[in-house]
Amino acid sequence: MGIPVERIVRATTKIKIRNHESFTSVDIANEVKSHGIWVRNRDVAERLNQCVDRWAKEEGEEYTQEIITVDVGGFGMRRAKAYIPSDGSVSSDYLKRDQRAISPEHFDRMHKTSVMPWNSRSE
């Protein structure tokens, strides 16, 4: 993950923290992707694992981590790490969210571009 993308991931995460929201790496990665910036979920997950405690403290908040089961659409149920405000819990509503990561193909359709050089378009 390059420096500009890392800054965007940090800013997106800190907005969730300021709003006292629970989130997973897929929530953060999909939010970044929705703004036209490609980022891999595993890179976001790694960065969150390293930094959420520090970022939360910078915002005067404390977050805990909990392994939850999430729905990944047609791919069934998967385990994911949820970041939760220390005085909160993962609501049943959160557990019902579709936690599919935006794929490169879906990203391409959303932004009419290609993140995959082998799939570049000539328009």
**Which CATH number goes with the domain that contains 18?**
1.10.10.10
**How would you write the pLDDT of the chain (123 residues) with one tens digit per residue?**
667 888 999 999 999 999 999 999 999 999 999 888 889 989 999 999 999 999 999 999 999 998 888 777 666 778 889 999 988 777 655 666 667 778 888 888 888 765 554 444 333
- How many domains would you assign to the chain? 1
Let me know if residue 38 belongs to a domain: yes
Is residue 114 in some structural domain? no
C-alpha 82/C-alpha 88 separation (Å) is 12
Residue 60 included in any domain: yes
Any domain includes 117: no
* C-alpha Rg value of the chain to the nearest Å: 15
Domain range for 58 is 3-104
CA angle, residues 37, 38, 40, in degrees to nearest 5: 140
109 within domain boundaries = no
The pTM for the full model equals: 0.80
Domain presence at residue 123:
no
The verdict on residue 67 lying in a domain is: yes
